A and B are shown apart, each in its own frame.
Chain A
Amino acid sequence: MIETIELTSTRRSRGSGGGPVERVSFDVYPGQVTALLGAPGSGKSTVLRMMVELEPCSGRTLFGGRPYHALRPAVREVGLALNPDALHPGRTVQAHLQLYSAAGGVPKSRIAEVLEVAGLSTQTAVRCGRLDAGQRQRLAIAAALIGDPAALILDEPHALDSHGRAWFHALIRAYAAQGRTVLVAAADPDSLAGTADHVVILRRDDEDGISRVIASRSAAEVFDERRATVVQVRSPQAARLAAALETEGARLSTAGPGALQVRGLDRARIGEVAHVAGICLHELSEIGHDDDVFGLRPVPRQKELLPGLSHAGAEGASFATVWSSGVRLVGSDTDTQPLDIEEAEVIEPAVETLVAVVEVVPDAPVTDARGQAEVPGQTAPQLAPATEANAQIAAPVQDRPPQVDALAGSEQASPVAAGETQTDASHSTDASHSDDQVQNQAEQAEQAEQAEQASQVLEARPDRDASDTSQQAQDQLSEVGRVLTNPPQAIAEAPSQQTAEAPPQRAAESQADIDRVAPEPSQTETPPAPLASRRSANRAFGTFRRTRIKATDDVPGGAHSAPVVVEATSASAQPAVPFTVAAVPAAPVDDGMTPWRAAAARAVRQQEQDGLVVEAASAEQEASA
Chain B
Amino acid sequence: MIAAFRYEVRRLGSLRGTRRVPGVAAVVAAGLGVAAALAVSAGASERVVALFRLGGTLPALAAAVVMGAAASGHERHHGMRYVTLAVVPRRAWLTLAKTTCTVVVCALTGALVALAAALGYALALAWAYAGDRTLIPDGAAADPVVQGVAPTAAAAVAAGVLGLAVGWLARWYRTSVVVAVAVVVLGTPLAAGRLLTELPTVGDGLARAEQSLRDTPVLSALLNPRILTAWPPLRSGLHPIPPTSLAATSLLALVALVGLVAGAVKWQRG
Contact = CB atoms under 8 A, between A and B. Distances in A.
B194 interface: no
Given A83-B79, A103-B3, A103-B7, A88 B85 contact: no
Nearest to B86: A80
Interface string B1-40: 0011011011100111100000000000000000000000
Nearest to A80: B86
A52 B87 contact: no
Interface residues of A, number: 34
Interface of B: 3-4, 6-7, 9-11, 14-17, 78-80, 82-83, 85-90, 269-270
Contact of B15 (A54, A73, A86, A91): A91
B78 to A, nearest CB: 5
**Closest 6 pairs between A and B when the two form their complex, measured CB to CB:** A95-B14, A102-B10, A103-B7, A86-B79, A69-B89, A103-B87
Given A87-B79, A89-B78, A102-B7, 7 more contacts: A69-B89, A69-B90, A74-B87, A74-B88, A86-B78, A90-B17, A99-B7
A100 B11 CA distance: 10
B83 A86 contact: yes
B15 A99 contact: no
A85 B85 CA distance: 15
Interface of B is mostly: helix
Contacts of B78: 86-89
A73 B83 contact: no
Nearest to A146: B87
Interface in A68-110: 68-69, 71-75, 80, 82-83, 85-92, 95-96, 98-100, 102-105
Contacts of B79: 83, 85-87
5 contacts: A74-B86, A86-B80, A100-B87, A102-B7, A102-B9
Contacts of B83: 83, 86, 99, 143
A143 B86 CA distance: 11
Interface in A23-47: none
A80 B90 CA distance: 16
A99 B14 contact: yes
Nearest to A140: B83
A154 to B, nearest CB: 12
B15 A88 contact: yes
A54 B82 contact: yes
A49 B82 CA distance: 9
Contact of B86 (A54, A91, A92, A96): A54
Contacts of A53: 85, 89
A56 interface: yes
Contacts of B14: 88, 91-92, 95-96, 98-99
Contacts of A143: 83
A95 B17 CA distance: 14
A16 to B, nearest CB: 9
Nearest to B94: A103
Contacts of B9: 102
Nearest to A52: B86
A95 B7 CA distance: 11
B205 to A, nearest CB: 43
B80 A87 contact: yes
A298 to B, nearest CB: 25
Nearest to B11: A99
Contact of B3 (A52, A73, A92): A73
A147 to B, nearest CB: 9
A87 to B, nearest CB: 7
B84 to A, nearest CB: 8
Centre residue among A83, A95, A102 by max chain B CB count within 10 A: A102
